[in-house]
Structures are given as structure tokens and as C-alpha cells.
Amino acid sequence: ATLRFESHAEFSTYTWDMPSAEVAATGLPFQPAAVALAGTLGQIPQPGPLLVAVDLHLVTDTAEDFQLDSVFDRASLARSDVNDGLAEIATDFKPDPSGFVRILVRDRGLGEEAAGALVQRVLEIETYRLLALLGLPEAQRLAPAIARIETQLARVTRAMLETQGLAANSQMLDELVVLSAELEAGATASLFRFGASRAYHEIVRLRLATVREHAVPGFPTWQQYLDRRMAPAMRTCATVEERQAHLSAKLARAADLLRTRVDVEMEQQNRDLLASMNDRTRLQLRLQRTVEGLSVAAISYYVASLVHLVAEGIHEGGLDARFGLHLEPGVATAIAVPLSVLFVWFMVRRIRRAHGDHD
């Protein structure tokens, strides 16, 4: 016997090659039974859980009355003539009590290389068939979450028609962001599994095309059997992927609409705020001009008062007569008032312009 180990991308295979008992001597294939091998394989360290177990027997036989009903379930038995009638493959795709799926290959004139190639392809069909079905539990796990997100999205979109206001729109936008994050997390986690299932299903299809099946009267071919069993599972995975993609696009559109509404409302608030600030600025400008006018009057009054005091002091002290002048305090004050007003107004205007240029 020969034990062969192969490591693949996400799984490893152990192939135990040994001679089987003569069918003519026992009357039945699959001798010795796989249960004798299961204990030995169980002692080998395994890198992961057991996914596929196949008990394949290659026998030389040309008899038409081969006893298949005694080893297979007649209700699910699939038989095909392959390699232009030089061989027949048969299985019911059901595990036996030891957990092995039995596959019988009847050699009707294959050479050694052709027989080895056929056995390899048949093993690959069964292996990749089960690996392709690993996407189905993932799809079943994601389907309820997708349905819930679809329901919540419908609720939010209905609320968008009935709700106004920045606070409400912001809350709905937050809900959509949470839903999008949950959906993308599930899509990212299932991306590899669904992609691998598609690849494995394609390998199964190619291997079935390679063996060139022809129907055995009264039995479905492997292709027909797998189309009935695998196609619904693959469609389920594809449907979940499509729902994820469509739902992601819908969430993005709804979020864009809400984000636009939020932006428009924020811009309206900003415009209102700017308008209010402009009103306050205009009011402040009016107050400033009023204060400037009052300041001009007050400063001019104090300047005129100072001029009046100076003129009165000069007149009472006789300084004007000493220099041959006749200075009347009232006249001097009257002349100083307009000059003071003009001077103060000019200085205030100059200061305001200087501040305006600086700003």
C-alpha cells in the first residue's frame, strides 16, 4: 500500500492506494471495507477538520449484471459511461457507515495512464464538489442579516419622506452608516468563501466535461445528478452575493441623499448665521458712526471750552492789550468752535481709514 500526501491552497489530501479483493471471489466490490482504513487514517495528525472521505475502487469488469444495488442506494445512484465507453463510473454520493462516499470505476479497456487519469478526475470531482458546497452555510448565515438590513433600509427611506430637520437627517444618516458597516463586514468575510465556491464549481464542471459522460439507460449521469444537487446551492451563494452588492449600492444612494440634505440644511443654517452676523455688523456700524458723531461733538466742545478759558485768561490778564490786541473771549470761542469741529472730524476720519486699511 502507498500513502500519498498533497497540500493545496486551503486543504490537504491523503490518498491510500492499495489492491482490493477480487470481485469474482467476493461477489461484491469495496472489499476490504473502508472501516478498516478509517482507524488507521484517524491516527495520522490532521491539520484541520475532515471535509471529504472517498472509498474508490477501480475494478476490471465487462459483465452487465454487476451487483450495484447491493452497495449503492438505487434511488440516488448516478452512472455514466466515460472515455468513449471504455469505463463506467458509479456512485450514490452518500457516505457509508464509516463516513466514506463510495465510487466504483469499472475498467473496460483503459490503459494504465488513462485509468490513472480517470481516477484522478473522479476524485477531484467529488473533492471539489464538497468544497464548493462550503459556501452554502456561509450564505445561509448571512441571509437573515441581509434581510434585516433590507428591512431597516426600507424603514429609513420611508422616514426620509416624512422627516425634516438637521437633527433627524443626521440620525438617519448615522443609522445608514451603521448598516453599511455591518453589510460590508459580512461581504468582506464571505468574499473568499464565495469566490472559492465558484472556482471549485467550475473545476467540477470542467472535470465532468473532460471525462466525456454518456448516460446509462435508467440512471442519471453525474452531470445531471450534480446539476440537481449543486446548482441550487450555487444559486443561493450567487443570490446572496447579488443581494449584498445591490443592498450596498442602495445604502450608498440613500446615504448620499441624506448627506445632501444634511449639507443643504447646514448651508442654510450657515447662510442664516451669516445674515444675522451681517445685521449685527450693520447695527454695530450704525452705533459706531453715532458714537463717532457724539465723540466729535464732545471733543469739539472740550476744545472750544479750552480755547474760551485761554482767551478769557489772556483778556483778563491784559496780555492782549500789552501786544496791542483786543481779544474778546466770546469771539475767540465762536471762531474756535467750527475750527475744532472740522479738526476733530478730520482726525476721527483719518483714524477710521487707517484702521480700515489695516483690516
> What pLDDT is stored for residue 235 in this prediction?
95
Tens of pLDDT, residues 259-311: 888 888 888 888 888 888 888 888 887 887 777 777 778 888 888 888 778 87
Residue 123 lies in a domain: no
311 belongs to a structural domain? yes
Q: Based on the domain organization, do 243 and 308 belong to the same domain? A: no
Nearest to 128 by CA among 34, 214, 196: 196
Q: pLDDT category, 336, cuts 50, 70, 90? A: confident
- The predicted pLDDT at position 92 comes to 92
What is the total count of domains within the chain? 3
Q: Report the amino acid identity of residue 318.
A: G
For residues 153 and 264, membership in a common domain is answered with yes
* Rounded Cα–Cα distance for residues 194 and 201 (Å): 11
Domain presence at residue 124 = no
Neighbours of 126 (CB within 10 A): 20
List C-alpha distances in Å: 267 to 76, 254, 260, 307: 68, 20, 10, 58
Residues 159 and 257 in one domain: yes
Which residue range(s) make up the domain with 42?
Answer: 2-110
Residues 91 and 144 in one domain: no
Cβ atoms of 133 and 233 closer than 8 Å: yes
Which pLDDT belongs to residue 314? 75
- Specify whether 145 is located in the same domain as 264: yes
Task: Identify the DSSP state of 286.
Answer: H
Picking from 273, 301, 318, the residue at the C-terminal end of a domain is 273
Q: Is residue 193 part of a domain?
A: yes
**Residue 238 shares a structural domain with residue 139:** yes
Residue with more model confidence, 140 or 339: 140
Cα distances (Å, whole numbers) of residue 61 to 23, 119, 189, 284, 354: 9, 16, 49, 109, 113
Task: Let me know whether 142 and 52 are in one domain.
Answer: no
User: Is residue 117 a part of any domain in this protein?
Assistant: no
End-to-end CA distance of the chain: 96
User: Are residues 289 and 233 located together in one domain of the fold?
Assistant: no
| Strand 214-215 to 101-107 pairing | unpaired
CA proximity to 294, closest of 254, 250, 348: 348
- Indicate the residue among 273, 302, 336 that finishes a domain: 273
**Domain match, 62 and 94 both:** yes
pLDDT at 6: 86
Nearest Cα neighbor of 101 from 146, 56, 61 is 56
Task: Indicate whether 300 and 251 sit together in one domain.
Answer: no
Closest by CA to 151, choosing from 178, 182, 179, is: 179
Q: Are the C-beta atoms of 96 and 38 separated by less than 8 Å?
A: no
| Residue 127 domain flag | no
pTM: 0.71
Examine residue 116 and state whether it is found in any structural domain, yes or no: no
In a domain, residue 119? The reply is: no
CA distance 242 to 232: 15
Interval 149-201: pLDDT, tens:
999 999 998 888 888 877 888 888 899 999 999 999 999 999 999 999 999 99
Query: Domain boundary at 214, 240, 273, which?
Result: 273
Same domain, 159 and 235: yes
- In this predicted model, what pLDDT tens digit does every residue of 16-55 receive, in sequence order? 888 766 554 455 677 667 777 666 667 777 778 888 989 8
- 19, 102: one domain: yes
Rounded mean pLDDT of 59-76?
74
Residue 348 to residue 289: CA distance in whole angstroms: 11
pLDDT digits (tens, 9 = 90+) for 107-144: 888 888 999 999 999 999 999 999 999 999 999 999 99
Ordered DSSP codes for 41-75 = HHTS--SS-----EEEEEEE---S----TTTS-GG
CA distances from 17 to 22, 28, 44 (A): 16, 19, 16
CA 260 to chain centre: 21
